[in-house]
Amino acid sequence: MKIMVIQGPNLNMLGVREQSIYGPMKLENIHSEMKKQAEQHNIDIEFFQSNLEGELVDKIQECLGDADAIIINPAAYTHTSIAIRDAISAVGIPTIEVHISNIHRREEFRQKSMTASVCAGSVVGFGPFGYHMAMMAAIQIINEVKMIKEQQQKQQTI
């Protein structure tokens, strides 16, 4: 099992930027905690961060055939990127959207997610703990997909 974690623009500045909104935890610390969680569940995990929309689209596309789930924080691109939305839709991999802050309590332009409608679910407003919640959701979805495939294989052999 493999989960790809994709982080959007400015998340490399966590712990430095707007701590009153995003908190003091750095991205490296979030990834370190996620790695520990993945190890406990025998899951391979890979991390990618970019400030460039096209690189995020490329990474999503590279997940096809390589990852069982995606956890993504598109950051500012959440509200603007049809390209990221279309890439998530195209690969058909279960994707969990994460936002450290509660986007629904922020500026009006941040309250609309272009990507949420093609994701399995969204976790918003729980700070860095939201990534833990997203991992648990991704593991659950991966296990459900695996069970369905196993049941389909059994039915085909009957």
Instruction: Note the pLDDT tens digit of each residue in 20-46.
Output: 777 788 999 999 999 999 999 999 999
d(CA 115, CA 72): 10
pLDDT value for 110: 67
| Amino acid occupying residue 92 | G
Q: Where in the sequence numbering do the catalytic residues fall? A: 22, 99
pLDDT value for 152: 86
Q: Max CA-CA distance within the chain?
A: 59
Q: Give the pTM.
A: 0.90
Percentage of the residues of the chain whose pLDDT score is greater than 70: 96
Q: 2-157: which CATH topology?
A: Rossmann fold (3.40.50)
Mention every residue, 6+ apart, whose C-beta is less than 8 A from residue 140: none
pLDDT value for 112: 85
d(CA 88, CA 53): 13
Backbone phi, then psi, for 149, in 5-degree steps?
A: -65, -40
pLDDT value for 105: 77
pLDDT value for 154: 82
